């Protein structure tokens, strides 16, 4: 992809302060886009703004589960930067627990961010993009949305909801020319992933599989880097994917053995 492939386009990335969201932000800037970097905490997105300068990255602090806060961010972005061309939903939380031990708060918070957050931002983007008959939305989901995982019921269910919502939105917006797609990572080297480890390296069961938890390993023999996911997002928001919508692109090293 040419370094200026997205020159002049305005993008908004949620969960931009670390991990996949940060990698997506950096990748978009590298392709010439101007990015509104949104996160619930300020440190990471403010650091990106300082690094790149406000002409390339502007930081916003907002909880995507708060629809009013989301709408305020969208209004400010379009007022100061211009019409939004790209939305990438990355913000997410992971709280693991067997179903019988999940607390009401953990279940609610997981859906508030992973599902309702995607609804809030996508609705705000869709209202604007559909009127202009241009734009694209990418939701970063999870391969857990397509295969059961022990102790991950809340996370998997919330990602499945976000995935189907994005596809339905894509169907509704298709005639306006707005494209909506999903990128579904597997295990990726992020702070969220490392919170599941006891050391610096992934447990053998992540790479080789764990029959005790009914988990298949990763055929390619490694976990993803955040940049692997960002590259998939870049493709889907680019003109090279202009005839792709309602697609769910798995980036998991073959872990789901998906047909």
**What pLDDT score does 205 carry?**
74
Mean pLDDT within 151-175: 98
Which domains are seen in the chain, by residue range?
Answer: 10-251 (3.40.50.720)
What is the pairing mode between strands 86-89 and 34-39?
unpaired
**What pLDDT score does 78 carry?**
98
Mean pLDDT within 95-99: 96
Element (H, E) at 108: helix 104-111
**Residue 215 half-sphere exposure, CB side, CA atoms within 13 Å?**
20
- pTM of this prediction? 0.95
Q: Look up 155 and say whether it is catalytic.
A: yes
Extract the tokens encoding 190. 């992020």
Q: Is the pLDDT of residue 2 over 70?
A: no
Extract the tokens encoding 79. 């007022």
Extract the tokens encoding 153. 């019921």
**What pLDDT score does 199 carry?**
73
Of 71, 22, 80, 76, the residue nearest 49 (C-alpha): 22
Average pLDDT, the chain: 95
Mean pLDDT within 37-59: 98
pLDDT tens for each residue of 198-256: 677 776 778 898 898 888 899 999 999 999 999 999 999 999 999 999 999 999 999 99
pLDDT tens for each residue of 48-58: 999 999 999 99
Nearby residues of 9 by Cβ (< 8 Å), 6 or more positions away: 32, 33, 34, 85, 86
Mean pLDDT within 28-49: 98
**What pLDDT score does 259 carry?**
53
Q: Is the pLDDT of residue 197 over 70?
A: no
Categorize the per-residue pLDDT at 1 as very low, low, confident or very high, splitting at 50, 70 and 90: low
CA distance 215 to 198: 18
Of 80, 246, 38, the residue nearest 46 (C-alpha): 38
Mean pLDDT within 137-149: 96
Categorize the per-residue pLDDT at 3 as very low, low, confident or very high, splitting at 50, 70 and 90: low
**What pLDDT score does 94 carry?**
95
Categorize the per-residue pLDDT at 192 as very low, low, confident or very high, splitting at 50, 70 and 90: confident
**What pLDDT score does 249 carry?**
98
What is the pairing mode between strands 209-210 and 215-216?
antiparallel
Task: Please pick, among 52, 60, 155, 250, the residue that the annotation labels catalytic.
Answer: 155
Q: State the DSSP string of 38-59.
A: EESSHHHHHHHHHHH-TTTEEE
CA distance 79 to 42: 21
């Amino acid at each position: 992809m040419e370094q200026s492939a997205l020159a002049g386009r305005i993008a908004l990335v949620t969960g931009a302060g670390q991990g996949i969201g940060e990698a997506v932000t950096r990748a978009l800037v590298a392709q010439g886009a101007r990015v509104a970097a949104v996160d619930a905490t300020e440190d990471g997105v403010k650091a990106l703004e300082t690094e790149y300068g406000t002409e390339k990255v502007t930081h916003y602090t907002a909880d995507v589960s708060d629809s009013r806060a989301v709408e305020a961010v969208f209004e400010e972005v379009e007022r100061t930067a211009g019409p939004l061309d790209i939305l990438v939903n990355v913000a997410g939380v992971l709280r693991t627990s067997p179903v019988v031990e999940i607390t009401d708060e953990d279940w609610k918070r997981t859906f508030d961010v992973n599902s309702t957050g995607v609804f809030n931002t996508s609705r705000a983007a869709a209202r604007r993009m559909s009127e202009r008959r241009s734009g694209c939305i990418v939701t970063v989901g999870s391969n857990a949305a397509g295969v059961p995982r022990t102790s991950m019921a809340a996370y998997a269910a919330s990602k499945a909801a976000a995935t189907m919502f994005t596809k339905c939105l894509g169907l509704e917006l298709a005639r306006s020319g707005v494209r909506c797609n999903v990128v579904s990572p597997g295990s990726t080297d992020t702070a969220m992933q490392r919170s599941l480890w006891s050391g610096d390296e992934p447990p053998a069961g992540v790479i080789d599989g764990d029959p005790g938890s009914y988990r298949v390993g990763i055929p390619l023999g490694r976990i993803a880097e955040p940049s692997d996911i960002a590259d998939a997002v870049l493709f889907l928001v680019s003109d090279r994917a202009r005839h792709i919508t309602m697609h769910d692109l798995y980036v998991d090293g073959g872990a789901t053995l998906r047909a």
